Amino acid sequence: MSNGTSKKTDLNRRTALKGIGAGALLATGAMPGSLGFAQAQSSAPIRIGFQKHATGIGAAYGRWYDATTQAAVKRINDMGGINGRPVEIVVEDDGTDPKRGAEVLEKFANQHKVDVAFGTLFSHVVIGSAPRAGELKLPYFVVSEGHHVASGMLNRYTLQPGITDVKSQVQSMAPFVANNLGKKVTMIFPDFAFGHDHRDFFSAAIEAQGGEVVAKIAVPPAETSFTRYFPQIPRDTDVVYHVMVGPAVLTFVKELGEFFGPSRPEIFGFIDSLEAVDIQSPGLEFLEGTYFWEGNPRHAQENNSEFDTAYRAAVGVDARGASLDDPKDVSTYAHMFGCWETLNVIKAGMETADYQGPQDRAKLIGAVEAMTDLPHSLDHPQGAKLFNGKTHQVFGAQFISKVTDGTLKVEHTASIEDGMYEDEVDYTAQSF
Amino acid sequence: MPTQVLAHPAEQALVLLLPTELYTFGGTLAVLASIILISIVPGQGLGRIYRGFRIAKGFDIGVAPHLTSLVSTILFFALLYVGIHGPNDPQSNLLPQVIWTGWWVGLFVLQAVIGDFWRWINPWSGLCWLLFNGDAPLLRYPARLGAWPAFGIFMLFQIFLLADIAPSDPDRLATLAFLYWLFTFAGMALFGPAIWTQNVECFSVLFRLITSLRPVHCGKDVRIGMPGWASFELAPLDMARALFCLSILVSGSFDGLRETFWWLGQIGINPLEFPGRSAVVWSSTIGLILANIIVICIYAACVQGGIFIARRFGTLTPAPFAPAFRTYAITILPIALGYHFAHYFVSFLIQIQYLAATLGDPLARGWNLFGLGGLRVTTGFLNSTETVKPILLMNVAAVVISHIISIAMTHHLSGRIAKTRRDLILIQLFLSILMILYTIFGLWLLSTPRGA
């Protein structure tokens, strides 16, 4: 199999052909429906529909989610597949669009006859697709880090077992920020739901640590120059917490650096701003000495785990989180591990449930809901996890890295407990 | 291509760190300077550079284009097969790769710069030659329709390109491509291939217009000249083709505009939270149509305004508006080409890799044709200032140079209407101002943040 940064793998491309072939057979009545499937079930592949952001605003992520997915499936198949059956990935492009996302789930269920659907990142696509997954009774494993799963907004068929949610991420930053960077925090965030979530989650979390948010500076989303907002930063600020996103994010950090000069407060941000950006690129020197949340450390650390090393090799990523073929082709390393880990959860769930076919979908969900500890292993190379079956959300370690000589060095690893919060839903109380 | 990796976050962020105001200022100055310089030249003074210089004797290509077209027809149907039975992921399916990257983006530019490839590879002319060679058409094409059907179909194509929620979906694209092929073939069978190609088949109309720009043309002789020298033979165009020229430019420009923070603000969408193409189907459709109407009206007003002041303050004898408009319209083509290049260049650099990789295994059988099976797509060149800057500067150059070519063509054509130097400057005055404003707009488009 080629490195996942390439086009679809052979397996994957063949799968697509078979999918349509099967659809054509069904249409002509040549395939005797469930009877045919039942007869073939012992050797028929497990089909996983991959809702990929191949086009649209998520395409940069989609490419790496694809690479990670292909690598994870290759490993699973090399180990004998799931319940002795090979795994096939059926890719459909959702265009990073919620309406298209829902259409794709329908194609998965009705045309491609997949066993489960998987892979979506962007929140609005998850939110647009999940109701359809519920109607189709199709298990839908998302890799989106949105809080919408654990908030109770979705349904019993939607699970997020491979990546932590943003509420947990933000909350777990507070102890390190308060104890190491300073108690007085100024938050600068884009003035819409995404920024408001950060504002609300972090304000509560830092107060619980004895710190306080001394200023909340909301920046209109369309803003591309920020200098005029900086005088609002109180003089006694210890830490600037920023969650700017979009094309102007580097401009923001640069202008912040220029505004403060050498005597700046500590600066803390989320790596989302810099996913797929080479931080040693000329012009980004102003990032030196600033801190970032990382979902998974992009740069291999001195004490790197054997699991992360093996995972990098499998996905085709070097020690700096870039493609083995092109050191400038930086991956979306902080997020894409979620695809790898989710597929391993699907595998474990299907094995526990002795999954044979779509009739066992509810059993599969029950088996995943029953999971708790997911130990640090090659199945979970980012670290140990704790799955909450009631909220369908996984919890795990978070990393805070400091840019040191152009490298992201992990300064602190937040524990699973740092990111835990009260349950907001019990999906297990919902019927199938 | 229409929905592909246009919104690469790193490239966008790095562009915003570059001194783009300086590029816009410099580019606009270059256009202004060229207007002043060219205005000094007498009306027909550019005639020398706008004459094709004979470099070789022409040669008879005989039926060769028909034969290659036949091959192309077979390949076209093979592509449709791959579209329907191949992978669902448009990044792995040869049909959307060939149509959007190879044909719409790549062929468009080659057609304008190198040669009339469409004549050789369109999937109809060979088949028509084989089936109805020399036969009288069954029906007579209504002459009063002229090339308006081509203009209308081109607008529908642009709406599909800009506003459809999944124009790269292989199934959908294969269905539409087949229906268009069938419609065109039926039209050619009923009305005759030549008349249908000239008036209804919009891509033949488009490519015939755009290929007139290329420096080298082969007829009785092989001749070379300044880009656009052969376009003058087409002017004045008929009104449908004149509007077609403007529409190529406007549609390309609007495709860029609708991704900007500015446009998203106009339609009430948070640019940091683009909701997907399904949310902007109607705004894109209406915007495209309005943009066409607005720019056509402005262009017409500039032409009419020039005539007016050249009569009022100069010595121009009464000159009717319509022929002037139809004459000047051809000068829009270089800008349309420049914008097409600049708009698609970044995504082309990515998508051409996908196309090559998919060519290595077109039927998804694990093949490694041409040694391309192992090709690995990279977008690393968009993650670093070192490469993002030259890419941006190339796009700036494309926009600026295309405007300068257009200005020179406008000046040359003005010589057909105005004879004195004063009239010559006056008649182009508003068109020149429009050129400067459009340059600023084009350079702004290259550097303004995009959210879609």
pLDDT score recorded for residue A304:
94
Q: Tell me if A104 is assigned to some domain.
A: yes
pLDDT score recorded for residue B49:
83
Q: Tell me if B220 is assigned to some domain.
A: yes
| C-alpha closest to that of B274 among A39, A98, A361, A219 | A98
Nearest to B380 among A90, A97, A329 (CB): A329
pLDDT score recorded for residue B8:
62
- Say whether pLDDT at B280 is over 60: yes
Q: Which residue of B has its CA nearest to A249?
A: B13
Q: Which residue of A has its CA nearest to B362?
A: A13
Look at B376 and A5 and tell me if their CB atoms are within 8 Å: yes
Nearest to B385 among A92, A100, A282 (CB): A282
pLDDT score recorded for residue B388:
92
Look at A221 and B7 and tell me if their CB atoms are within 8 Å: no
pLDDT score recorded for residue B303:
96
Same domain, A287 and A350: no
CA B34, chain centre distance (Å): 23
Q: How many Å apart are CA A398 and CA A201, to the nearest integer?
A: 15
Which amino acid type is present at position B132? F
Token duo for residue A67: 């690479």
Looking at the structure of chain B, the number of domains it has is: 1
Domain ranges, residue A200:
167-294+397-419
pLDDT score recorded for residue A26:
34
Contact list in B for residue A6 (CB cut-off 8 A) is 357, 374-377
Q: Tell me if B384 is assigned to some domain.
A: yes
Same domain, A263 and A364: no
Q: How many Å apart are CA B140 and CA B191, to the nearest integer?
A: 6
Asked if omega into B236 is within 30° of 0 (cis), the reply is: yes
Nearest to B450 among A8, A247, A284 (CB): A247
Contact list in B for residue A249 (CB cut-off 8 A) is 13
Sign of CA dihedral B376, B382, B385, B388: positive
Same domain, A183 and A119: no
Which residue is listed with tokens 């406008």?
B410
Below-70 pLDDT ranges, chain A? 1-42, 283
Q: Tell me if A220 is assigned to some domain.
A: yes
Same domain, A391 and A406: no
DSSP B440: H
Q: Tell me if B106 is assigned to some domain.
A: yes
pLDDT score recorded for residue B361:
82
pLDDT score recorded for residue A283:
67
- Say whether pLDDT at B222 is over 90: yes
Q: Cα–Cα distances in Å, from B434 out to A52, A108, B358?
A: 43, 51, 43
pLDDT score recorded for residue A281:
74
CATH classification of the domain holding A183: 3.40.50.2300
Q: How does residue B383 score in pLDDT terms, banded at 50, 70 and 90?
A: confident
Look at A16 and B92 and tell me if their CB atoms are within 8 Å: yes
Same domain, A113 and A207: no
Look at B92 and A20 and tell me if their CB atoms are within 8 Å: no
**3-state SS class at B325:** helix
Look at A17 and B364 and tell me if their CB atoms are within 8 Å: yes
Q: How many Å apart are CA A34 and CA A319, to the nearest integer?
A: 47
Containing H/E element for B224? strand B221-224
**Checking DSSP bridges between strand A407-414 and strand A398-404, what pairing results, if any?**
antiparallel
Q: Tell me if A239 is assigned to some domain.
A: yes
Q: How many Å apart are CA B257 and CA B292, to the nearest integer?
A: 13
Chain A contact probe: residue of B80, B88, B445 with most A CBs at under 10 A? B88
- pLDDT tens per residue across span B384-416: 888 999 999 999 999 999 999 999 999 999 989
Same domain, A92 and A156: yes
Same domain, A173 and A247: yes
Alpha-carbon distance A314 to nearest alpha carbon in chain B (angstroms): 15
Same domain, A37 and A157: yes
Q: Tell me if B419 is assigned to some domain.
A: yes
Q: How many Å apart are CA A202 and CA A206, to the nearest integer?
A: 6
| ipTM confidence | 0.86
Q: Tell me if A316 is assigned to some domain.
A: no
Nearest to B166 among A100, A275, A330 (CB): A100
CA B120, chain centre distance (Å): 19
Same domain, A96 and A177: no
Comparison of pLDDT for B149 and A253, the residue scoring more = B149
| C-alpha closest to that of B2 among B353, B250, B344 | B344
Contact list in A for residue B12 (CB cut-off 8 A) is 247
pLDDT score recorded for residue A359:
95
| pTM assigned to the model | 0.89
Contact list in A for residue B384 (CB cut-off 8 A) is 278, 281-282, 328
pLDDT score recorded for residue A4:
30
Which residue is listed with tokens 């705004």?
B283
Q: How many Å apart are CA B326 and CA B297, to the nearest integer?
A: 13
Q: Tell me if A36 is assigned to some domain.
A: yes
pLDDT score recorded for residue B343:
94
pLDDT score recorded for residue B452:
75
**Percentage above 70 pLDDT, chain B:** 97
Looking at the structure of chain A, the number of domains it has is: 2
Same domain, A209 and A157: no
Look at B385 and A283 and tell me if their CB atoms are within 8 Å: yes
Q: Which residue of A has its CA nearest to B374?
A: A2
Packed helices B239-257 and B321-328: angle between N→C axes, nearest 10 degrees: 50
**3-state SS class at B304:** helix
Look at A91 and B92 and tell me if their CB atoms are within 8 Å: yes
For residues A370 and A352, the answer to whether their CB atoms sit within 8 Å is: yes
| C-alpha closest to that of B349 among B390, B403, B401 | B390
SS (H, E, C) chain A: CCCCCECCCHHHHHHHHHHHHHHHHHHCCCCCHHHHHHHHCCCCCEEEEEEECCCCCCHHHHHHHHHHHHHHHHHHHHCCCECCECEEEEEEECCCCHHHHHHHHHHHHHHCCCCEEECCCCHHHHHHHHHHHHHHCCCEECCCCCCCCCCCCCCCCEEECCCCCHHHHHHHHHHHHHHHHCCEEEEEEECCHHHHHHHHHHHHHHHHCCCEEEEEEEECCCCCCCHHHHHHCCCCCCEEEECCCCCCHHHHHHHHHHHHCCCCCEEEEEHHHHCCCCCCCCCCHHHCCCEEEECCCCCCCCCCCHHHHHHHHHHCECCCCEECCCCCCECCHHHHHHHHHHHHHHHHHHHHCCCCCHHHHHHHHHHHHCCCEECCCCCCCCCCEEEECCCCEEEECEEEEEEECCEEEEEEEECCHHHCCCCCCCHHHCCC
Packed helices B421-447 and B385-417: angle between N→C axes, nearest 10 degrees: 160
Which of the residue ranges A303-312, A323-332, B116-125, B325-334 would you say has the lowest mean pLDDT? A323-332
Q: How much is the average pLDDT of B121-144?
A: 92
For residues A190 and A248, the answer to whether their CB atoms sit within 8 Å is: no
Q: Tell me if B452 is assigned to some domain.
A: no
Q: Tell me if A309 is assigned to some domain.
A: no
Task: Indicate the Cα dihedral angle B1, B4, B7, B8, nearest 10°.
Answer: -110
| C-alpha closest to that of A220 among A203, A237, A195 | A195
The residues near B8 (Cβ < 8 Å, ≥ 6 apart) are A59, A60, B346, B350, B379, B382
Beta strands in B34-185 (DSSP E): 53-57
Look at B89 and A251 and tell me if their CB atoms are within 8 Å: no
The full DSSP string for B72-99 is: HHHHHHHHHHHHHHS-SSTTT-HHHIII
Tell me the β-bridge partners of A219. Answer: A190
Nearest to A278 among B84, B383, B452 (CB): B383
Q: Tell me if B217 is assigned to some domain.
A: yes
Same domain, A148 and A186: no
Q: Tell me if B229 is assigned to some domain.
A: yes
φ and ψ at residue B224, rounded to 5 degrees: -130, 145
Alpha-carbon distance B91 to nearest alpha carbon in chain A (angstroms): 7
Domain ranges, residue B31:
5-447
pLDDT score recorded for residue A33:
34
- Say whether pLDDT at B432 is over 90: yes
Which residue is listed with tokens 């401009």?
A251
Burial class (CB in 10 A: 0-12, 13-18, 19+), B282: exposed
- pLDDT tens per residue across span B308-320: 999 999 888 888 8
